[in-house]
Amino acid sequence: MRENYSIIKEQYNTIIYGISVDSPEDAREFQDKLNLPFSLLSDESKEVIDAYEVSDTVEKNGKIISLSANIVINQHREIVYYHKGHYKDRPSIEEMLKILKGL
């Protein structure tokens, strides 16, 4: 997403957010470390993560982390695309652009 953020934002009038179970400070540090062009929001209480049913967790380096998810919500607040799994299995940018083009 980082490499194609401007295309997604400008051509598809889309806003991208990342959501992390980490503290606000850790999320901000991670966002800076990866130089993410979109906001990485903290959801320590897991309210949003639970609401979108991506609360499955895995252990990585002794720390519990949330699974990666791609969720596209249209202007009517309807989920039109949902993918949850390992970050290496997430859809390609080409697949995501096709989804956005179909909205």
Please tell me the total count of domains within the chain. Answer: 1
Sign of CA dihedral 36, 42, 44, 45: negative
| Mean pLDDT along residues 10-39 | 88
| Mean pLDDT along residues 67-90 | 82
Q: Which of 52, 66, 19, 22 is nearest to 38 (CA)?
A: 19
pLDDT recorded at residue 64: 63
pLDDT tens, residue by residue, 50-65: 888 776 666 667 666 6
pLDDT recorded at residue 65: 65
Q: Is the pLDDT score of 29 beyond 90?
A: yes
Burial of 14 (0-12, 13-18, 19+ CB in 10 A): middle
**Domain span at 91:** 5-98
In a domain, 103, yes or no: no
CATH code, domain carrying 69 = 3.40.30.10
